[in-house]
Chain A
Amino acid sequence: MSGKNQQSSSSLALIGGRLATSGEAVTVVIRDGRIESLGQPDVGHTTDQQIDVSGCLISPGFVDLCCNLREPGNGQKGNIASESRAAARGGFTTLCASPETSPVNDSGAVTNLILDVAAKKSKVRILPIGAITRGLEGELLSDMSGLAGAGCVAMGNGSRPVRNARVLRRCMAYAQTFGLTVMFAPENQALAADGYAHDGSVAARLGLLGVPEVAETAAVMEMLLLAEETGARLHLSQLSCGRSVDMLREARGRGISVTADVAMHQLLFTENALSGFDSRFHVRPPLRSEHDRQALVAGVQDGTIDAVTSQHQPHDSAAKQAPLAATEPGLSTVETTLSMGLKLVDRGELTLPRLVHSLTVGPASVIQRNAVIKQGVPADLCVFDPDGSWSPSDDTLLSAGRHHPFPHQSLPGVVRLTLCNGETAWTSEQS
């Protein structure tokens, strides 16, 4: 790659790349933050800056429906500046910020605070998710209309449960009044109890407290029925079970308005990752069986699951240094999400166009946004070299969370350039 990294460039041409979805060779010209033209590679251009991206694929910037930025409140685990920079390195240009902050994002004031910090510290777009219940306690409705007015793009309860079906039903009905999307991580609290591992063979052998499959599927069924009754636009986040995919497919067939996502690590790892009590793989929902993993991948491939998320959860090191049950759940993944996806493509489990779709158009449509490369739209782009490789390590990661899944491993796929609104959010020349 050559060229200057001036963010004030009013025009820029990306030369020599191919579109990630179609493979078509293309020159992308960006002027004043928007895509001005998509031309033939051999056409000459008069732009302030030209960047040679030969060998790279050009995709719309990735959209993450589930990203924990830890701000406000959890500075020891990360903040908007550190995690948005890590996300840009991962190719993301839009992050839906989880409401699980401290204080919880259940008021317009917190939403404004997040957006103010984001405007100053983040080069990528941050779209907060509002807490659907006050304090995420799962008991009382939050000021959803006010939150939406302040800039929240959907309402959710993070990874916390809602107390009972009556509250859940009212959450959906109230959100539906304003046409808001509701996001829930399906988990039946009583069935999940104190579990922290898939209730399968690894839990049986290691004596881990299990979360049975039915803790998720019972909640999925309940939520689908309530969405059908209330007419709410439901988004199921963080699926982990193959049977949930079947139920989703069936509900779609009956015309229920429902979308869903899965965390990338669920597509790559299984319960076996916990052999040896590796606390990094303590995630919630837990990594399940190989059968579940395959069904989730198939769900992404056939479009039943709309979006793949990073479910990025940065932690300070102390949060993971304890016996497994005493550690906090979550992996630091936002920088390795694309690489994980490309591993699946290399293995032939997922096609490249489907991977890109599930990181762009799929999640964008859940929050009524677009993620396309065409004339006139804001230039949110991820330029990556699918044949490049890199090794994440404590020294190279930008996230404050260092508990990523691949120590000492070479990963496929290097993000060369991330543009958000035509401005450089990440370029590999920085490192």
Chain B
Amino acid sequence: MTAQGPVTKSLQLTEEGQLRHFLTLDGLDRALLTDILDTADSFIEVGERSIKKVPLLRGRTVVNLFFESSTRTRSTFELAAKRLSADVLNLDINTSATSKGESLSDTLLNLEAMASDMFIVRHSQSGAPHFIAESVTPGVAIINAGDGRHAHPTQAMLDMLTIRQHKGRFEGLKVAIVGDVLHSRVARSQIRALQELGVSEVRVIAPATLLPSDVESLGCKVEYDMTRGMKDLDVVIMLRLQKERMEGALLPSEREFYRLYGLNREKLALADPECIVMHPGPINRGVEIESAVADGPQSVILDQVTNGIAIRMAVMSMAMGGQMADRNRQLAERKSQ
């Protein structure tokens, strides 16, 4: 595993190693990932109170900048921001500026003029949040809510939180990710998180057309045969299959995919009896997962949704803390001059 270049590391971490943006899990060490999980744990309790707010981001403006539509991720980010007492602005850029030919740089300049403190960015192109983080004025935190095929780090971290809740550890776990890894930003972030947190094995299970060319370089084991791949699993993560995949000559049919790579009770029975079943949602029942499994006792899919809010609260508050630390350091430096 090569860690991502020092450029990205210095972009998303402060000199003291605090998060100032949350763009990718590359370059973040186990201690920091654990810190995120621990912080999220403390916010889970907030969600159980009758008054579900803490004042950490009071007076801050959080902009949901979604260049690609999403209901679930956007609403959990919105809820997380509101529980942190931030003001939230939802911008669906799909239908506004960029369709009028405005460049992303120009859109950003306009948004910055509104004195926002944090952008939650979803974009169809890999690396777009990196570009935004490099372009915005210092002091604005960028949180990646999914970019192209690159990364979906909050999703991966909420998955890690779910695994930790159910398994209590990462060491020694065997985890499989099944389905369309090629197009999946979720899978890339999950693979990185699982490896950094020290699981013993990450398998990817899919036909060759749905795997990146050099997938072994990510450090996972490739398995084409799902019945073999399910053996001894502690965690199985199913990925959503987009219908477009049939058109690009990547798959013959949904039916064949379900027969070979869909998770049903028979295949699940091949795993460890305590194996948990995860899915980032939204689920295609009967395409990648059988209803009886999605709703069954081993499924933790709804826990993932609940944990999503806590993880997003954790990451947002930590990134804002990093930005504050940057600002305080600059002020101190200016004073000492």
Interface residues of A (CB under 8 A from B): 199-201, 203-210, 212, 272, 275-279, 318, 321-326
Query: 1/0 per position for B57-100, CB-CB distance to A under 8 A?
Result: 00000000000000000000000000000000000000000000
Whether A324 lies near B125 (C-beta < 8 A) is: yes
Interface with A: B28-36, B209-217, B258-266, which one? B209-217
Q: Does B4 contact A (CB under 8 A)?
A: yes
Q: For A322, give its contact among B4, B11, B131 (CB under 8 Å).
A: B131
Q: Which 6 A-B pairs have the closest CB atoms?
A: A207-B149, A277-B127, A201-B217, A207-B150, A276-B7, A204-B212
Q: Is the pair A323, B214 in contact by a Cβ cutoff of 8 Å?
A: no
Q: Indicate if the CB atoms of A323 and B131 lie closer than 8 Å.
A: yes
Is B122 interfacial (CB-CB < 8 Å)? no
The answer on a CB contact under 8 Å between B7 and A207 is no
A204–B188 CA distance with the chains assembled, in angstroms: 8
Q: Could you list some 24 contacts between A and B, CB below 8 A? A: A205-B4, A207-B148, A207-B149, A207-B150, A207-B185, A207-B188, A208-B149, A210-B213, A272-B5, A275-B5, A275-B8, A276-B11, A318-B103, A321-B103, A321-B105, A321-B131, A321-B135, A322-B104, A322-B105, A323-B128, A323-B130, A323-B148, A324-B126, A325-B126
- B110 to chain A: closest CB distance in Å? 15
The distance in angstroms between the C-alpha atoms of A200 and B123, with both chains bound, is 23
Asked, given contacts A276-B4, A278-B7, A323-B125, whether A204 binds B150 with beta carbons under 8 Å apart, the answer is no
Contact with A along B1-40 (1 / 0, CB 8 A): 0101101100100000000000000100000000000000
Docked complex Cα distance between A210 and B126 (Å): 12
Greatest chain B CB density within 10 A among A199, A276, A277 is at A277
Are A322 and B148 closer than 8 Å at their CB atoms?
no
CB < 8 Å: which of B125, B131, B148, B217 contacts A204?
B217
B311 in the interface (beta carbon within 8 A): no
Known contacts A318-B105, A322-B131; is-contact A277 B215 (Cβ 8 Å) = no
- Give the chain B neighbours of A210 by CB distance below 8 A: 212-213
Q: How far is the CA of A81 from the CA of B196 in the complex (A)?
A: 53
Q: Could you tell me if A326 and B214 are in contact, using CB atoms closer than 8 angstroms?
A: no
Give chain B interface residues in 190-215, CB to chain A under 8 Å: 212-215
A334 to chain B, nearest CB (A): 26
What 1/0 mask marks residues of chain B from 116 to 158 whose CB sits below 8 Å from any chain A CB?
A: 0000000101111011000100000000000111110000000
Known contacts A200-B217, A207-B126, A277-B126; 9 further A-B pairs (Cβ under 8 A): A201-B218, A204-B217, A206-B150, A208-B127, A208-B150, A275-B5, A275-B8, A324-B126, A325-B127
Counting contact residues on chain B (CB < 8 A from A), the size range is 20 to 34
Select which of A199, A201, A209, A277 is within 8 A of B131 by beta carbon.
A277
What residues of chain A lie closer than 8 Å to B5, measured between beta carbons?
272, 275-276
Structural contact, B126 and A206, CB atoms closer than 8 A: yes
Chain B residues with CB under 8 Å of A206's CB are: 126-127, 150
Task: Provide the residues of chain A in CB contact with B4, threshold 8 Å.
Answer: 205, 275-276
Name the contact of B214 in the complex, choosing from A204, A276, A277, A279 (C-beta under 8 A): A204
Smallest CB gap from B151: residue in A? A207
B residues within 8 A CB of A208?
126-127, 149-150
Smallest CB gap from B9: residue in A: A276
Decide: B213 and A212 in contact? CB cutoff 8 A.
yes
Set of chain B residues within 8 Å of A278, measured between Cβ atoms: 7
Which residues does chain B contribute within 8 Å of A201, judged by CB atoms? 2, 214, 217-218
In angstroms, Cα B188 to Cα A277, docked, is 16
- The chain A residue with its CB closest to the CB of B192 is A205
List, in ascending order, chain A residues with CB within 8 A of B135's CB: 321
Partner of B7, one of A275, A318, A321, A322: A275
A210 to chain B, nearest CB (A): 6
Specify which chain A residues have a CB less than 8 angstroms from the CB of B126 in the assembled complex: 206-209, 277, 323-325
- In this complex, the member of A212, A323, A325, A326 whose beta carbon has the largest number of chain B beta carbons within 10 angstroms is A323
Contacts of B147 in A (CB 8 A): 207, 323
What distance in Å separates the Cβ of B223 from its nearest Cβ neighbour in chain A? Answer: 17
Residue of A nearest to B211 (CB): A204
Residues of A within 8 A of B7 (CB): 275-276, 278
Smallest CB–CB gap between A288 and chain B, Å? Answer: 12
CA distance A217 to B136 in the complex (A): 41
Nearest-CB residue, chain B, relative to A207: B149
Residue from the list A272, A321, A323 in contact with B127, Cβ < 8 A: A323
Residue from the list B103, B125, B188 in contact with A205, Cβ < 8 A: B188
A279 to B130, CA, bound (A): 11
The closest CB in chain B to the CB of A197 belongs to B126
Q: A276-B4, A318-B105, A322-B104 are in contact. Are A204 and B218 (CB under 8 A)?
A: yes
In the complex, which residues of chain B have a beta carbon less than 8 angstroms from the beta carbon of A322? 103-105, 131
A204 to B220, CA, bound (A): 12
Residue from B8, B103, B212 with most neighbouring chain A CB atoms (10 Å): B212
Q: Which residues of B contact A323 (CB under 8 A)?
A: 104, 123, 125-128, 130-131, 147-148
Question: Nearest Cβ in chain A — how far from B37, in angstroms?
Answer: 23
B11 proximity list for chain A (CB < 8 A): 276
Q: Is the pair B217, A205 in contact by a Cβ cutoff of 8 Å? A: yes
Report B-chain residues with C-beta under 8 Å of the C-beta of A272. 2, 5
CB distance from A283 to the nearest CB of B (A): 16
Give A408 Cβ to nearest chain B Cβ, in Å.
13
Q: Which residue in chain B gives the minimum CB-CB distance to A289?
A: B214
| Complex contact B217–A199 (CB within 8 A) | no
For A277, the chain B residues whose CB sits under 8 A away are 126-127, 130-131
The closest CB in chain B to the CB of A317 belongs to B105
- Whether B218 and A276, one on each chain, are in contact in the complex, defined by CB atoms closer than 8 angstroms, is no
Bound CA–CA A208/B5 (angstroms): 16
Are A203 and B214 in touch, CB under 8 angstroms? yes
Question: Please, which residues of chain B bring their CB within 8 A of the CB of A325?
Answer: 125-127, 148
Q: Which among A199, A206, A208, A325 has the greatest number of chain B C-beta atoms within 10 A?
A: A206
- Distance to closest chain A CB from B16 (angstroms): 21
